[in-house]
A and B are shown apart, each in its own frame.
Chain A
Amino acid sequence: MSRGWGMDTITDDLVASSHGDHASLFTAVYTTFSPAVAGYLRAGGVDDPEGVTHDVFLALYPRLKSVRGGAQGLRTLIFSIAHARYVDHHRRRRGTPAPVEYDSDRDHRLTASAEDQALDGSPEANALLMLEELSEDHREVLRLRIIAELSLKEVAVIMKKSPGAVAHLQQRALASLRNQQKAKNGVAS
């Protein structure tokens, strides 16, 4: 997979020279990677994706000098932190009783908000619906491959699985998506 996303800004030389101007490198790293980190957390159903994104980069800051592997090594480190935060978030949520939220769909006094109208049919809303049909591992493999732009080996390191196991998960996830699309098209037709 090509590594073009954000690489124009964050180069291997820039990462290697991080021992000099630490603040400017950190600013460039945040500007380059924070949209994808926030999107990864949003796609993972994290309640406060922006706040967790901040936590990810606060955890990254003291480790910025010890990054190995250039810009791609930096990307792997960032998403390994984000993956850990995502896992912690869902672990906490499972441990605490889920609060019952106000369901506006059951309130017939209201009409659709502008946000609902904007999200209806949006790519992100469709993708969330699509991911709900998959298992947790399948979702995580697709998020890390598509949103985080990581290779098979890097995903395997982050998920603490072998590359073969991740390749198998990836294959099964795409097969499930394909079946899902076929079923949707069959119902639609």
Chain B
Amino acid sequence: MTTRSTPHDEQIVDQLLLETDTEDAAELRFALLELRSFAAGPPPAPSAKLAALMAPRLVSLDDRRKRKHHRAGLAALAVAMSMGMGSAAVAAADPGFRDKAQETITTLINTVTQPHQGHPVPGRGNGRGNGAQEGAGHAPDNATPARGAPGRSGQENAPSHGPGDVPPGQETRPSTKQGGPPASMPAGGPANTPALPDRQKTENRPPPSSPSAKPRT
């Protein structure tokens, strides 16, 4: 009779015999090796319940719960960011908002520039310096005239002239009609400017200057 004992099996049995001072008993050693044979063999086939527990699961419940909390935090942050960006975009895209903003800016600019534009300059007909300044092609940023403003010349709203285009004193002559045509309108047509003096009704009037021209100080 032979036993299929491995070195490890023999090591276990020999250790027990050594502990009990019976290592010299060959028959006892052989009997214990036969008992050790119960530990050998293939694993029994798992039952259905055991097989279900051994099936790999991709995500444990704890991980899923942690990921859910993390995902909720990210979603809250994304919602807050999108709400802020959306409200800013809506405010920028709203025509009423833009009109109000433009009107506010216009009012501010008019308020700031009002004291300089409100003073009439009747005695500037001989001023070469003023003519040179105006002839530099600068025009006020806000081309919309303040209608009825005293001393506001029609030429201020009209396109500026280059140096030497206009005889001295002509550009300084105030308009007889308060509140000349807006700069957006072509001021060169005689029909558009019926109230202008004859000297201002020149057909060779240059095209209107750009709205970005610097206002006369």
Interface residues of A (CB under 8 A from B): 1-2, 4-5, 20-24, 26-27, 30-31, 34-36, 38-40, 42-43, 49-51, 53-54, 57-58, 61, 121, 123-124, 126-127, 130-131, 142-143, 145-147, 149, 152, 170-171, 174, 177-178, 180-182, 185
Contacts and interface: CB of A to CB of B under 8 A. Distances in A.
Contact of A30 (B4, B8, B40, B54): B54
Contacts, number: 134
A142 B13 CA distance: 10
Interface size bucket, B side?
35 or more
Contacts of A177: 28, 31-32
B34 A35 contact: no
B115 interface: no
Contacts of A30: 43, 46, 50, 54
Given A22-B60, A171-B20, A178-B22, 16 more contacts: A2-B11, A21-B56, A23-B54, A23-B56, A24-B56, A35-B42, A35-B43, A39-B39, A54-B49, A58-B50, A121-B1, A130-B31, A170-B19, A174-B17, A177-B31, A177-B32
28 contacts: A2-B8, A2-B15, A21-B56, A24-B56, A30-B50, A34-B44, A35-B42, A36-B39, A38-B44, A39-B37, A39-B38, A39-B40, A50-B45, A54-B46, A123-B4, A124-B37, A124-B38, A130-B34, A142-B35, A143-B35, A145-B16, A146-B39, A147-B35, A170-B16, A174-B22, A177-B28, A181-B28, A181-B31
B22 A61 contact: no
Nearest to B11: A2
A147 B11 CA distance: 13
A130 to B, nearest CB: 5
B53 A23 contact: yes
User: Interface on chain A toward B: helix, strand, loop, or mixed SS?
Assistant: helix
Interface of B: 1, 3-4, 8, 11-13, 15-17, 19-20, 22, 25, 27-28, 31-47, 49-50, 53-57, 60
Contacts of B55: 23
A12 to B, nearest CB: 19
